[in-house]
Chains A and B, each alone.
Chain A
Amino acid sequence: MPSLGADMEVGTILQWLVKPGDAVKRGDIVAVVDTEKATIEIEVFQSGVIDRIVVPEGEQVPVGTLIAVIRTDGEVAAPPAPVAVPTPPAPAAPPVAAPKPMEKPTVPAVSAAPPHRLRISPLAMRVAVDLKVDLSKVKGTGPDGAITKADVERAAKAAKEAPAVEALAAIAPAVAKAPPARPAAAIDHHVAMRRVIAASMARSKREIPHYYLATHVDMSRAMAWLQSENLKLPIANRALYSVLLLKSVALAVRDFPEMNGYWIDNSFRHSDAVHVGVAISLRKGGLIAPAIHDVDKKPLGEIMANLRDLVKRVRAETLRSSEIADATITVTSLGEQGVETVFGIIYPPQVALVGFGKIVERPWASNGMIGARPVMMATLAADHRASDGHRGGLFLAAIDRFLQEPEKL
C-alpha cells in the first residue's frame, strides 16, 4: 500500500484493475485505493507481469503492506519476487526531495450542504452513467454495502435481459433519494479531509514563519492576447487565463530557487524541477492541490490540457498517486469565488505559495494617463527561513513581467 501522503496510515483497495498474468508497465493504473481524503488511482512503478494479488478488494490495510506481487522480466513465476507496489511513492527514480504529505489546503474551504448520496465508488458511478443503470435497484456488495463497478455491470447485464428499463432519468433521482440514514463515502472523506487540512495547516502556522507580499498586476495585455488566441482555437483547445498564471509562476521561480522546493530537517532543499501544485476546491468542502509536472517546460496548450484533466479528475475523485505527492510550489486562484486578495497558508514542506485574486476593472495610471484596466492582485506567502521579503518582492515582480508578455509564455 503506497503512502499517498505523510498523514496517510491506511488505505482500502476499492478495485483491482489488473489480474494475475496481466503485463503492466511503469505508470499504468493498477488499482483504485480509498484514502481518508480521496479516491486515488494507483500507478505502478515497475514494469512486469502481475504475479499475484495479495490484498483483495474491499480490504483496508496499513501503509507499507504488500498488496500485490509483480514479476519483472526474466524472473520465474515460482518464488514470487518481493517486488510489490512500492511503499513510498518514489523508488523508481529517486527524487531530490523526500516524499511528503498529500493533504493540501491553503485556505479555509467553503463548506457546502452536506452531501446525500448512495454509497458508491466514483468509478461505479461513472459506469452507471455510461451503462444507464438505475442505481436504486442495484445491491451493493462492497464495504458497508457500497456499490462497486462489478455490481453496476451485473445490474446492467440483468437489465438487458429483462424488459425495458426507464434508464436515463432514473439515475439522478436514484442518487438523490438515497435514504439519508446511509452514510455516504463522501461524508467520510469530508470529515477526514477536514482533519487532514487541520493538521497540515496547524503545522504550517506553527512551524513556518510566513511573510506576505502583494502587488497589483495589469492584466489587459494577457487577457487581450488570450482572447485573440482562443478565437482561433476549437473549443477543446481553448485556454483559461489560469494557465497564463501557472506558466508565469513556473518561469519566474526558475530565477528564485529559494521559493521552489522543500524545507526538511532544518534546511532548504531546492528542486530543479518545477511542479506546480494547483489548489482545487471540492464542492462538498475541502480542497486538494495536485501537481502539474514541469510547468516551466511545457507549452501553454499542454498545461491547459493537464489542468483540465486534473480538475475533472479531482472533482470526479479519480486522482493518480504521482500527482498528489510532489508539488514544489503551490498556486491558489480564488478569483472564481469573487475575492480580490488571498493570503495563502504555505503547504508544508513547501516554502512558497502564490495567490491570485479576481480580475476587476480599475482605474490605472500609466504614462501620465488614467484608463480602466483589468487588474488582478498577486500575493506571495513565503517561508522566512528559506527566503527574505526583498527576494520575494522581486519574485512577484518577475511574475508580473511575464504576464506583460503573454506571447512569450
Chain B
Amino acid sequence: MTNDEIRALILRELRRIAPEIDADTIDPSVELREQADLDSMDILNWMIAIHEKTGVEIPEADYARMATLNDCVSYLSQRLK
C-alpha cells in the first residue's frame, strides 16, 4: 500500500465511526482524538477497523504512536513493510 492509500483508508474508517468529520479540515499534525472528539470507544472501534482492513495487529501500547493522521500513516506504512 502506498502512503496515499493508507491515508485514504484511515480517513474512510474514521468517517464510518464519525460520519460528520470533514476530511478537508483535518490537520494531519494535530491529535485526531481532539480534532474529531473521539473517545476511547471510538478509538478502539477505529483501531479494530484498521486491523481488519490491513491485518496489522496494533498493541494497546502503540495507540500513543497513532495520535495524529501523519503518525498513523507512518506507523502503518512501517508495520506493513
A residues at B contact (CB < 8 Å): 112, 115, 117, 122, 125-126, 129, 168-169, 171-173, 175-176, 186, 227, 230-231, 234-236, 238, 240, 242, 283-284, 307-308, 311-312, 315-316, 336
| Bound Cα distance A186, B12 (Å) | 20
Told that A115-B20, A312-B45 touch, could you supply 16 new A-B pairs with CB distance under 8 A? A117-B20, A125-B19, A129-B15, A168-B12, A169-B8, A186-B20, A227-B60, A230-B60, A235-B47, A235-B57, A308-B45, A311-B41, A311-B42, A315-B17, A315-B42, A336-B40
Residue ID in chain B nearest A233 by CB atoms: B60
B43 to chain A, nearest CB (A): 10
B contacts, CB < 8 Å to A: 8, 11-12, 15-25, 37, 39-42, 44-45, 47-48, 51-52, 57-58, 60
Choice from B22, B23, B41, B51 contacting A236 with Cβ under 8 Å: B51
Contacts of B23 in A (CB 8 A): 169, 172-173, 176
In the assembled complex, 6 residue pairs joining A and B whose CB atoms fall closer than 8 Å, in A order, are: A115-B20, A176-B24, A240-B41, A284-B20, A308-B41, A315-B18
Instruction: State the 7 A-B residue pairs at the shortest beta-carbon distance, nearest first.
Output: A172-B23, A176-B22, A336-B39, A311-B41, A235-B51, A236-B48, A115-B20
Kindly state the separation between the CA atoms of A238 and B51 in the bound complex, as whole angstroms: 13
In the complex, the number of residue pairs spanning A and B with C-beta atoms less than 8 Å apart equals 70
Residues of A within 8 A of B15 (CB): 129, 171-172
Q: Closest CB of chain A to B17's CB: distance in Å?
A: 7
Contacting B18 at CB < 8 Å: which of A126, A242, A283?
A: A283
CA distance A235 to B48 in the complex (A): 6
Q: Is the CB of B19 within 8 A of A316?
A: yes
Report how far A94 CA is from B63 CA in the complex, Å: 46
CB distance from A35 to the nearest CB of B (A): 18
Q: Is there an interface contact between A172 and B22, defined as CB atoms closer than 8 Å?
A: yes
Pick the contact of B44: A117, A231, A238 (CB < 8 A): A238
B19 to chain A: closest residue by CB: A125
Chain B positions within 8 Å of A236 at CB level: 48, 51-52
Indicate if the CB atoms of A172 and B24 lie closer than 8 Å.
Answer: yes
Given A311-B42, A311-B45, A312-B17: A235 and B12 interface contact (C-beta under 8 Å): no
Q: How far is the CB of A288 from chain B (nearest CB, A)?
A: 14
B44 near A308: Cβ-Cβ < 8 Å: yes
Complex CA distance for A316 and B60, rounded to whole angstroms: 25
Tell me, in angstroms, the Cα distance from A330 to B58 when the chains sit together.
Answer: 33
User: Whose C-beta in chain B lies nearest to the C-beta of A175?
Assistant: B22
**Bound Cα distance A316, B20 (Å):** 10
Taking the closest CB of chain A, its distance from the CB of B9, in whole angstroms, is 9
Q: Using Cβ atoms and an 8 Å threshold, which residues of chain B touch A171? A: 15
